[in-house]
Structure 1
Amino acid sequence: MTDLPELDPVIHAQARLRVTVALAGLRSADQITFPRLQQLLEMTAGNLSTHLRKLEDAEYVEITKAYEHRTPVTLVRLTSKGRAAFESYTKALQRLLDAGT
């Protein structure tokens, strides 16, 4: 039997996986507003904030507070570390799936 790969526990939680997938779909320098991400994922603000904090603590996402026309806006983007972690996660998941066949 082959050694089964470990899945990154930061990404593996369902909500954080959904966040990471959504952010990985953007170009590396692109950001998305918090409300738009919330809408895409159909998550409450509190739930999304909690999962973003975990991803931010792992340095997988960067959160920027800015102003647009004097209105505060929160921008979210996947960091290069987060993108690399997601790529490793998907490769590990594929190896895990391949091991089951």
Structure 2
Amino acid sequence: MPDRRPRPPHPALALDDTVHQRVRLGILTVLSETRECKFGTLRDELGLTDGNLNRHLRILEQADLLQVIKGYEGRRPCTWLRLTRQGRTALRAEVAALEQLVERLRNAPAEEPETDT
């Protein structure tokens, strides 16, 4: 008799498209490791161009996942980035979904299933 219990949704469905993109996941991860980070430090850490980093920062800022603070360091303009509470929560949820995916893979059969051809 087949099992009729509802199955939980696949963990991949919990991945957030805004967070899951490779560069944005990197940005959130770097920002989670510090209170705030300079634009240039983040750019160099992730190996990005100014324009590429700016584009991803705008998306994350619009989603309220990070805060952009503009000011000066002496006479030089400087931009600092800070993870918001929502950003920290979104990153934790993303990591939890990824951990569930990894766990499913670890529990999957070691051999490829037989297919009918």
Q: Does the pair score TM above 0.5? A: yes
Give how far 1:88 is off: 0.8
AA at the equivalent of 1:3: P
TM-score, with normalisation over the residues of structure 1?
0.90
Q: In the alignment, which of 59, 62, 82 is matched to residue 57 of structure 1? A: 62
* CA contact 1:65–1:75 (8 Å) conserved in 2: yes
Partner residue of 1:9? 17
Match of 1:89 among 83, 86, 94: 94
Query: How far has the Cα of 1:34 moved from its partner?
Result: 0.4
Alignment of 1:8-47 (within 5 A): 8-26=16-34, 30-47=35-52
Structure 2, unmatched stretches of 5+, are: 1-6, 108-117
2:9 is paired with a residue whose SS is coil
Task: Provide structure 1 residue ranges, at least 5 long, that are not aligned to the other structure.
Answer: none
Extract structure 1 runs of 4+ deviating beyond 6 A: none
Residue of 67, 73, 78 corresponding to 2:72 = 67
Q: Per-residue displacement from partner, 1:1-21 (whole Å, max 9, x unpaired)?
A: 642122011111111111111
Q: Is the 8 A contact 1:62 1:78 kept in 2?
A: yes
Distance 1:33 1:64 in 2: 9
Higher RCO, Cα 8 Å, sep 6+: 1
Which AA in structure 2 matches 1:8? D
- The RMSD of aligned alpha carbons is 1.2
TM-score, normalized by length of structure 2?
Answer: 0.79
Does the 8 A contact of 1:4 with 1:99 survive in 2?
no
> Kindly, what percent of the aligned residue pairs are identical?
36
